Structure 1
Amino acid sequence: MVTLSDLKGSEYLAGLVRENVVEAVKSGKEGSNRVVIYGPPGNGKTFLAKAIAGELGYEFKDVKAGEIDEGLPDVQGKTLLFLDEFEKFMDVQEIRDSIEDLSEDVLVVGGTNHPWNIQGLSEAGFNSLVFMPEPGPEARKAVLREFLGDGAVSLDLDRLAEMTDGFLPVDIHNTVEAMDEITQESLEERFGGSNPTTLQEWMEEAITQRDRLDRTAYKPLLEWLDKQ
C-alpha cells in the first residue's frame, strides 16, 4: 500500500493533497468525495490516486475508459474509485448518472490529460481539482532511485536529474528499460568505439537518445491553466 509519504521529491504536492483532499474527506466536508486529477500523460496520476486511497485506508478500484460499456463496478463502503480518461466517462449520460448515485462513502477520482474537454464538472459535484505538474529535480531523483533500485547508489543522481529535465516518470521508466537497446553507432560516436563501462555512462547515453516531454502536446494544457 502506498501513501502520500511515497511521493518522494513532491512533498509540496503531497501536502496540498493531504490538506485539500484527504483531510476534507475525513472531516466529511460536502463535495469532498468528488475529485479530478489532471496533468500530462504518464505523470503519475494513478499513483497519486493510490496514495490518496492508502492515506485514507480506502480500497482502491480503477476503471479504464475502454470498460465504459460494462458500466461502473458495484462498489460499497470506503472505496476510492479511479476513472482513467475521465472525460470519456463524463460523455456518457448513464455513467454520469451512475456516479451521482454512488454512496457518499465512495471517493470518486477522475484522471484526465484534457480537463478542458470535460463539461458539467461542477454540476456533477467535482469541485476539487488537483494538478499534477511535471516532476522537479528532487522528484526525478526519487523516480530514478525507484526504477534503478540498488544500482542508484553508485550514480551521480544530481547530474542525471539535470539531464532528465522535462522527463515525466514514464519517460524515466522507459529510459531505464531501453538501456539494452542503445545502438552501436551511438556508442562509437560518444565513446570513440569503446563501450560504456559504468551504469552512469549507460544511463547518460540512454537519456541522450530519448525525447523529452512533447511541449506541443502539452501546450493546450498550459493554455487552459492560464485561463483558470
Structure 2
Amino acid sequence: MTDADPLIASLTAAVDARPEDLPLRLHLAGLLLDAGRGGEAIAHLGQALTRDPGDTGAQALMQRALGVPPAGGGTPGASTPAGGGTPAPPGSPGTPDSPVDPLAAYERELADVVPPRFVRSGDEPEPVTGDADRAYDVETSTVRLADVGGMEAVKERLELAFLGPLRNPELRRMYGKSLRGGLMLYGPPGCGKTFLARAVAGEMGAKFLSLSIVDVLDMWMGNSERNLHELFQAARRNAPCVLFLDEVDALGHKRSKVTSSSMRTVGNQLLAELDGMEGSNEGVFVLAATNTPWDVDAALRRPGRLDRMVLVLPPDAEARRAILEYHLRDRPIAGIDLRKVVAATEDFSGADLAHLCETAAEFAMADSVRRGEVRMIGQGDLDRALKEVRPSTRPWLATARNVAMFANEGGVYDDLVAYLKRRRLL
C-alpha cells in the first residue's frame, strides 16, 4: 500500500457521502491518476462531466486520463492513446482535427463504465424549431369567423376574450389585458367547435396547432408528459398560435375519478403547462373543446387556465340554412324547399345536416343508376333522408338537462339553463 492509498480511501468515502461535490470528486480523480489508477479516475471524471459538461478542470483531467494531448500540443493530426500504442487516425475522437464533440468522444470511451447522458436512436430526427416543426402539424388557418354560419353569441364572446384585445394593442396595454388566456368550448358533438377554433386562428392571423389524446399518450412511463410539454413548446415557438385541446376531458378528467396514476400525472402536467411554469405562454391562446364539461377537472377551470366557458349550441335556423346551402351548392339540385328542410331539422348538428345532404345524394344517385339516366336531387330525396337521419344532439341535451337541474354549482352552466328554458326543456 502506497502513502496515497489511505488518503484515496478517505476521499472515496467522502465522495460516496457527497456525490454532488464536484471539487472533491475532481481532487480524488487527480490523486487516482497520480497513483496510476486510471480506470477509477475515468469513472469519477465521467460522473463529474455528466453533472457539469462544461467544467474545464474535469475536461482537462479527462484528456490526461485518456492520453489526449492538450490543444496546440502534440503532433498535428495524431494522438497517442494512454499506455502507448498505434496513433489514432485523423478524425478519430480526441484528435485535433476531429469535428466530433469532445464530450461525445468521452462518452464512447467510457461506455463500459459510465452510462451516456442522452440516448438517441440512429434514425431519430434532430430537434427542429420554428415553422420547421415536423413532429406536429402547425397549420395556417384560412377560415374566418364570417365563414361560420350563425352563432352570433359565440362570436361575440370570442371577440371579447381574444380578438378585440389582439386588434387593439394600445387599449390592451392601457387596461392591462394579457394575451395569455384559455377558453373552453362545450356543447353537443358535431356542432362546430373545432371549426370555430380554426376560425379564431384565421381571424387572428395566428398559427393553429391541434392536440388530441393520441398525440400525448405513450406506453412508456414519462413519455406522455414529455409529449404534452413538446406540444406546448411547439405552440410557444410559433406564437402567436392557437393551441386547440380537442376532447380536453380525456386529458383533464376529474382526478378524483381517475384510477390510473399515469393519467393523473398527465393531468398535472397539463395544469403546469397552462400555468406557463415550463415557459412563457404569452401569445399562446388555448382553446379547448369538450362534449362533457362536467367531467373536466375543476382545477382546469381556475383563473388563468381555461377560466372562460362558451356554450356552442346546435345551429339555429339561420345557421342551418347556411350549412345546408354549403353542402348542396356543388351537387345537382332542383326544386329544393330550404325553408321546409330548415324547419324540419331543429336540434340537428352541423354534422347531422352534412349527413342529411349526403344521404339525399345517395338516394338520387341510386335512383339514377336504377333508371339508367341522371336526375337531379329533389325535395323528395331530402324528405326521404329526413325519415332516416335523426338528430344526434338529443341524448346530449337529455344529459345536459340533468346537469343543469342538479349540478349547476356556482352558476357554471347558467347559459345552458337559459337555453333549455327557452326550448322548454327545463
Consecutive unaligned residues in structure 1, runs of 5 or more: 188-195
Paired residues of 2:183 and 2:288 also in contact (CA < 8 A): yes
Structure 1 residue aligned with 2:322: 142
2:165 and 2:401 map into 1 onto residues whose CA distance is 27
* 1:22 equivalenced with 2:167 (yes/no): no
Alignment partner of 1:39 out of 187, 192, 217: 187
Q: Secondary structure at the match of 2:314?
A: coil
State the Cα deviation string for residues 70-118 of structure 1 (Å, max 9, x = none). 3252222100000101112224212222232252111011100111111
What residue is the counterpart of 2:270 in the other structure?
Answer: 95
User: 2:151 matched to 1:10?
Assistant: yes
Map Cα deviations across residues 16-71 of structure 1 (whole Å, 9 max, x no partner): 32233321455372475211111111110000111111111111110112222232
1:71-220 to 2 correspondences below 5 Å: 71=228, 72-73=230-231, 74-75=234-235, 76=237, 77-91=239-253, 92-101=267-276, 103-119=281-297, 120=299, 121-122=301-302, 125-151=305-331, 154-179=335-360, 181-182=362-363, 198-220=377-399
Counterpart Cα distance in 2 of 1:88 and 1:46: 16
Alignment TM-score, normalising by the size of structure 1: 0.83
Alpha-carbon displacement from aligned partner over 1:165-194 (angstroms, at most 9, x marks no partner): 1110011111222235559xxx9xxxxxxx
CA distance in 2, matches of 1:180, 1:148: 9
Distance in 2, Cα, partners of 1:31 & 1:39: 25
Distance 1:95 1:24 in 2: 25
Structure 2: how far apart are the matches of 1:144 and 1:59?
29
**CA gap 1:153/1:198 in 2 versus in 1, 3 angstroms:** closer
AA aligned to 1:78 is: P
Alpha-carbon separation, structure 1, partners of 2:324 and 2:404 = 28
Separation of aligned partners in 2, 1:20 and 1:147 = 31
Query: Distance between the aligned counterparts of 2:158 and 2:325, measured in 1?
Result: 23
Contact 1:25 1:32 in 2 (8 A): no
State how far apart, in whole Å, the 2-side matches of 1:93 and 1:215 are.
34
Q: Which has the higher strand share?
A: 1
Residue of structure 1 equivalent to 2:132: none
CA distance in 1 between counterparts of 2:404 and 2:270 reads 27
DSSP 3-state at the match of 2:302: coil
In structure 2, how many angstroms separate the alpha carbons of the residues matched to 1:31 and 1:115? 24
Query: Cα offset for 1:197?
Result: 6.5
Aligned-partner Cα distance in 1 for 2:305–2:376 = 56
Paired with 1:94 and 1:167, the residues of 2 have a C-alpha distance of 37
CA distance in structure 2 between the aligned counterparts of 1:94 and 1:63, rounded to whole angstroms? 14
Farther off after superposition, 215-224 or 37-46: 215-224
User: What TM-score, normalized by structure 2, do the two folds share?
Assistant: 0.47
Q: Distance in 2 between matches of 1:10 and 1:213?
A: 19
* Residue 8 (structure 2) aligns with: none
Aligned length: 217
Q: CA deviation at 1:218?
A: 2.4
Instruction: Mark the runs of 5 or more structure 2 residues left unpaired by the alignment.
Output: 1-141, 218-226, 254-266, 368-374, 412-426
Separation of aligned partners in 2, 1:207 and 1:13: 28
Q: 1:66 to 1:57 in 2, by over 3 A?
A: same
Residue identity matched to 2:163: V
What RMSD over aligned residues (CA atoms) do the two structures have, in Å?
A: 2.6
Q: Percent identity?
A: 25
Q: Secondary structure at the match of 2:329?
A: helix
